[in-house]
Chains A and B, each alone.
Chain A
Amino acid sequence: MTQFIKLLARNQLALAGGIILSIVVLVSILVPILPLQPPDVTNTADRFMAPFSEGHWLGTDHLGRDLLSRLLWGTRLSLAVGAAAAIVAAVIGSAIGIVAGYFGGTTDNVIMRGVDMLMAFPYILLALAIVAALGPGLMNALIAVAAVNIPFFARNIRGITVGIAHKEFVDAAKLAGKGHLTILTTEILPNVVPVIVIAMSTTIGWMILETAGLSFLGLGSQPPQADLGSMLGEARSALITNPHTSVVPGLMIFIIVMSINLLGDGVRDALDPRLRSGALSRPKPTTTVARQSSPPHGPGEGVLDIRELETQFHVGKRVFKAVNQVSLNIEPGECLGVIGESGSGKSVTALSVMGLVASPPGVITGGAVFHGGQDLVGARYSTLRRLRGDKVAYIFQDPLSTLHPLIRVGEQLAEAIRVHHPVGKAELRQRAIDLLNDVRIPNAESRVDSYPHEMSGGMRQRVAIAMALANEPEVIIADEPTTALDVTVQAQVLSLLDDLRREHNVAIMFITHDFGVVAQLCDRVAVMYGGQIVEQGTTDDILANPAHPYTRKLMECVPELGAGRRELAAIPGLPPAVDDLPPGCAFAPRCHKAQAECTKAPIEMTRGGGRAVRCLYPETKLVEEEPA
């Protein structure tokens, strides 16, 4: 609770709203003891005096009544009526909701049908019908506004009650032989009261507005008594000649409703944990780049040359070093595996290449990625966009969430081509069908018009692969493309990728946590741990003689090729949190060979025989490199 209030207070707008509202409420409570002129005493000699007149700060109205006095009395009445309507609606609506939710079954059905019927009405229309039946008057307006808000409470509270009615403590109370009424009042009610209060605070603004509205129409408070709405309604006939009589009550309604809205928004934000963690921010078109030192010089080797890449996540004051000084390069037509547990930074490395790391919170803080002689890190958006999907294409993990659910797969394929090459409509369709054929999708002619949800997981991933191939890119970056699939489908998709790689001579950067997959597909492999590369070499060498203790553990986790879908449960301990890396070797806490030496200083890569390893006590000694 104190935390909630702190959060609320930090929201300056909400605080402002709260203060304004408190002042308005306080003043309207004090109205009877304030030295005001009587609000209803007419004095036609003094009609329509302008604001700041002698004795009448806000002037007078068409009957010469003091506007300030009428305003404050009217505010008091409007607030009281609005609050009363809110309470009535909350009490009756919640009672209905609790009964429906608690008893369930037919009771619930009948009640909720009725509620649905009420909600089918345009809101104000129902209030008008009720006032029509009861006749104009403030009390009747209050009843009408309360009545049309009952369904809102009934529905919300029912939902909460249904959730509670099946909790153990309710069952326990039933077994203890307590009656329904006792259970409702002692077990259910205390749990729904907070929700009722919140629902009330969000609707009270509406209720004040609606009662004011009915009064404005002449259906609410009747003269000489006036709430803000009827003041405005009466002033309307003098709008053109004496606008101040309209502006004064109108502004007051506006101020009240706005302060309630501000406060309500603040309450909602403080209660919504997603907003608190900042997770609701949207990623920008490219990852933010803020390099702290001058980047390495080009032009770079191979089709893709990642140099000393550093990518971090900045969440509040915390900094997560997801990728730390990673260098990788890929030759044309080569398949490079990047392997590691989740959280090792392998996916972030992959996404950094084309600036696809969600930003905020992602920031590329150092390094370079060379492609065709130019540095992609910090390249302009237009440059990156032209290369994305054309020269460097991606395949992502879960094809159900990575394909657009509302667009036909044929159109999604066609779009991949169209954004880079001007091709006619008919040809695009044919190209899409050809692509589907390329990835061995049967009945491509009809499948091209399917939506993603009409396909199987394996089929969808084939579509994603087809999309990556659409423009014959130089490199495909595949981020765990088979992890979400069944084992058999996984094998099919892998062999498809392998075939396609040879047919199209495309280089692949393959991100995975599964050594079986690496063995099947990759020429070379880089092992990542805690945001760093800990070992690198040809697949054959590493499979035969892993040098890093971590690599060795990883391999032991995969009994059979391609069958390892487990997230390496076999390695004792957890991967490190990348905001709190130990100095020296990040693997030390889980390493059986760890010595005191390992955690003293950062460990450099040792190179030899075309391999590299970041370990003081490797499993196998690398062949000494000949001095150049």
Chain B
Amino acid sequence: MGGYIVKRLLSAIPVLLGITVIVFLIMALIPGDPATAILGSYATPENVEKINRDLGLDKPLVARYFIWLGNMLTGDFGRSFSLNRPVIDEVLERFGATLVLAGTAFIICTIFGIIAGVISAARQYGLADKAITFAVLIGISIPSFFLGMMMILAFAVERRWFPVSGMYAIYGGGDLADLAWHLVMPAIALAVVATGVIARLSRSAMLEVLRQDYIRTARAKGVHERRVIWTHALKAAMVSIIPVLGIQAGFVLSGAVYIEIVFQWPGVGRMLVNAILQRDILLVQGGVVFVAACYVLFNIAVDVAQSLLDPRIKT
């Protein structure tokens, strides 16, 4: 197992490099004078000169890439001009908030998506199945940012159950209960679409598995139907559910952008949008590379989970 993890980590290196190349190329495509474009409204002569020196913008493209990459590997993502602090500090701080939000949403969509899908399959064509299928259709069609706004209207304004926005109460907040209270609505709004997608997939994966011979064997053994569904069938269905969880994690992570805007959550997504509007290119660059790299690592964890579940995968 240890060997397998190392192997997967090594295979991630080219992907990570690829990500940096892509981000670098996108940024290199910026029309006009790169230094001015990167600095945007912060393009004072000193800044322009500084960034030309930092990034070696007078050098050829390839050299610039390696300088940039080398800097990043030493933890130097450059300096945000709009915030006047190192990019990496800002990203790390914001990423924590995003992780709380996206992580909670991911847990919600995994648990409820799978449960809904399993129930739906076990009661195929029954009332529960129809209700879930309908709810899923609504769920995957509603834009998360609109849903978030409607939730604010319904549960923060009409009924004051939850706070309108933010991560902590401004006065007297700051503990875990306060965080949880602020987290409920944004996490749900972020999770809804992914829950629907996972429920849908789990349903069809379960239907596929429930027709297999080993399910008949389990029933022939006298295993209780509850256990047949939730242990035998679900275990086998997880083999096709887990990769989708990996993909959905990506959607949740990047979909957090919208939710962070709607609920004014101090996460990396809101930081990125502000940075784009301020034309703070270095902050965008650093944020994107960092989040994408984290996602690649997360997907390795998904692969490892898959190999733990399925002994047929050669580790």
Which chain A residues have a beta carbon within 8 Å of chain B's beta carbons?
Answer: 113-114, 116-118, 120-126, 128-136, 205, 209, 212-213, 216-219, 232, 236, 239-240, 243, 246-247, 250-251, 253-254, 257-258, 261-262, 265, 279-283, 285, 354, 356, 358, 381, 385-390, 393-394, 396, 398, 401-407, 415-416, 419-420, 451, 453-454, 464, 467
Contact = CB atoms under 8 A, between A and B. Distances in A.
Given A393-B220, A419-B223, 11 more contacts: A121-B22, A121-B292, A124-B255, A135-B279, A216-B258, A240-B164, A250-B146, A285-B219, A381-B225, A403-B214, A405-B312
A302 B142 CA distance: 62
A28 B214 CA distance: 53
Contacts of B52: none
Nearest to A219: B276
B149 A239 contact: yes
A402 B258 CA distance: 47
16 contacts: A120-B292, A122-B251, A124-B255, A132-B27, A133-B29, A219-B277, A246-B146, A258-B138, A281-B124, A283-B210, A398-B213, A401-B212, A404-B214, A404-B232, A416-B221, A419-B223
Nearest to B144: A213
B236 A405 contact: yes
Contacts of A236: 149, 262
A401 B22 contact: no
A109 to B, nearest CB: 13
B173 interface: no
B153 A232 contact: no
B26 A133 contact: yes
Interface string B271-310: 0110111010100110010011001100100000000011
A251 B147 CA distance: 10
Given A123-B251, A281-B124, A285-B225, A254 B142 contact: yes
A419 B221 CA distance: 8
A133 B30 contact: yes
Interface in B112-166: 121-122, 124-125, 137-138, 140-143, 145-146, 149-150, 152-153, 157, 164
Contacts of B204: 280
A519 B54 CA distance: 89
Given A125-B254, A282-B211, A243 B206 contact: no
A-B interface, 8 closest residue pairs, ranked by CB to CB distance from nearest: A117-B18, A250-B146, A258-B141, A124-B254, A389-B222, A122-B254, A282-B210, A388-B222
A381 to B, nearest CB: 7
B69 interface: no
B221 A415 contact: yes
B34 to A, nearest CB: 10
Most central of B140, B145, B221, B262 by chain A CB within 10 Å? B221
Given A123-B251, A240-B157, A243-B153, A394 B235 contact: no
B267 interface: no
A394 B211 contact: no
A453 B311 contact: yes
Assign chain B's interface to a size class: 35 or more
A217 B137 contact: no
B143 A420 contact: no
Q: Is the interface of A mostly helix, strand, loop or mixed?
A: helix
B216 interface: yes
Contact of A257 (B27, B141, B253): B141
Nearest to A127: B254
A216 B222 contact: no
Nearest to B298: A122
Nearest to A355: B219
A117 B15 contact: yes
A285 B121 contact: no
B153 A128 contact: no
Nearest to A382: B224
- Classify the secondary structure of B's interface with A: helix
Contacts of A133: 26-27, 29-30, 281
Interface in B20-42: 21-23, 26-27, 29-30
B101 interface: no
A125 B292 contact: yes
B71 interface: no
A313 to B, nearest CB: 15
Interface centre among A113, A114, A128 (most CB of B within 10 A): A128
Interface in B199-257: 204, 206-208, 210-225, 227-228, 232, 235-236, 239, 250-251, 253-255, 257
A265 B145 CA distance: 24
A315 to B, nearest CB: 15
B149 A467 contact: no
Contacts of B125: 281
B207 A280 contact: yes
B19 interface: yes
B190 interface: no
Contacts of B138: 258
Nearest to B233: A282
Contacts of B152: 239-240
A282 B213 contact: no
A388 B224 contact: no
Contacts of B219: 285, 356, 388
A123 B254 contact: yes
Contact of A402 (B214, B223, B255, B312): B214
A216 B157 CA distance: 22
A217 B270 CA distance: 9
Contacts of A123: 250-251, 254
A117 B279 contact: no
B143 A356 contact: no
Given A125-B291, A243-B153, A130 B26 contact: yes
Contacts of B309: 406
A213 B143 contact: yes
Given A117-B18, A219-B273, A401-B212, A258 B137 contact: yes
Contacts of B255: 124
B240 to A, nearest CB: 12
Contacts of A117: 15, 18-19, 21-22
B217 A250 contact: no
A253 B140 contact: no
Contacts of B150: 247, 250
A489 to B, nearest CB: 19
Nearest to A453: B312
